[in-house]
């Protein structure tokens, strides 16, 4: 197998911190420019006007009939509101990773601590970027040293509450 850095079409070599390297797949500029223009909702005429290029020049670039100069690439990128490297960067195909799980009342794994009751939610989803849970503050039991005192308030001078420790 030939060295990946010498293959035709392997124009960009990416060096990684760990010492490995890889080559980026070649990108056909024409379809990329067309995709960027259409994403803006522009016609050839409108995009050419924004970039300061002739409509015929832009058409030839999109159809692979012309290899643009760096100056033309710079104008094109500025007209599209991106940088020159972004012209050559393949678009990210973001996949929708939306997943939905319903945790009904009374469901969910309970975790009880001294002050909270937690219910873990969405347990059916693995590799979550967050841990959804419902928490309820538990009422601490009242601690009182008022045994034998009149708690109606009629005889409050003979008894005073002890510190509760909270």
What confidence tens digit (pLDDT) does each residue in 21-35 have?
776 666 788 999 999
- Residue 111: inside a domain, yes or no? yes
- Taking Cα atoms as reference points, which of 75, 25, 68, 69 lies closest to residue 48? 75
User: Across all residues in the chain, what is the average pLDDT?
Assistant: 76
- Residue 163: inside a domain, yes or no? no
- Kindly compute the dihedral angle of the four CA atoms of residues 33, 35, 39, 43, in this order, to the nearest 10 degrees: 70
pLDDT at 80: 93
- In terms of DSSP H, where are the helices of the chain? 29-40, 44-51, 55-62, 70-80, 84-87
What confidence tens digit (pLDDT) does each residue in 39-76 have?
899 999 999 999 999 999 999 999 999 889 999 999 99
Give the H or E element holding residue 137: strand 133-137
- Residue 18: inside a domain, yes or no? no
- Say yes or no: 106 and 53 in one domain: no
- Domain hosting 112: range is 95-139
Q: Mention every residue, 6+ apart, whose C-beta is less than 8 A from residue 67.
A: none
- Say yes or no: 102 and 77 in one domain: no
- Of 64, 92, 120, the position where a domain reaches its end is 92
- Say yes or no: 87 and 42 in one domain: yes
Count of domains forming the chain: 2
Name the band, by pLDDT with cuts 50, 70 and 90, for residue 5: very low
| CA 125 from centroid of its chain's CA atoms | 17
Q: pTM for the complete prediction? A: 0.45
- Say yes or no: 60 and 104 in one domain: no
- Say yes or no: 80 and 108 in one domain: no
Name the band, by pLDDT with cuts 50, 70 and 90, for residue 164: very low
- Say yes or no: 47 and 86 in one domain: yes
**Minimum mean pLDDT range among 26-30, 110-114, 145-149:** 145-149
């Amino acid at each position: 197998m030939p060295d990946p850095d010498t293959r035709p079409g392997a124009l960009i070599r990416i060096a990684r911190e760990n010492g490995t390297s890889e080559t980026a797949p070649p990108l056909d500029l024409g379809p990329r420019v067309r995709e960027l223009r259409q994403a803006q909702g522009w016609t050839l005429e409108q995009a050419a006007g924004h970039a300061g290029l002739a409509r015929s020049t832009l058409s030839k670039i999109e159809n692979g009939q012309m290899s643009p100069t760096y100056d033309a690439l710079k104008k094109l990128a500025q007209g599209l509101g991106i940088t020159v490297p972004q012209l050559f960067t393949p678009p990210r195909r973001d996949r929708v990773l939306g997943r939905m799980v319903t945790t009904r009342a009374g469901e969910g794994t309970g975790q009880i601590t001294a002050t909270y009751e937690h219910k873990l939610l969405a347990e059916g989803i693995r590799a979550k970027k967050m841990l959804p849970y419902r928490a309820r503050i538990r009422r601490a039991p009242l601690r009182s040293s008022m045994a034998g005192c009149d708690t109606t308030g009629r005889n409050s001078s003979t008894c005073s509450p002890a510190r509760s420790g909270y």
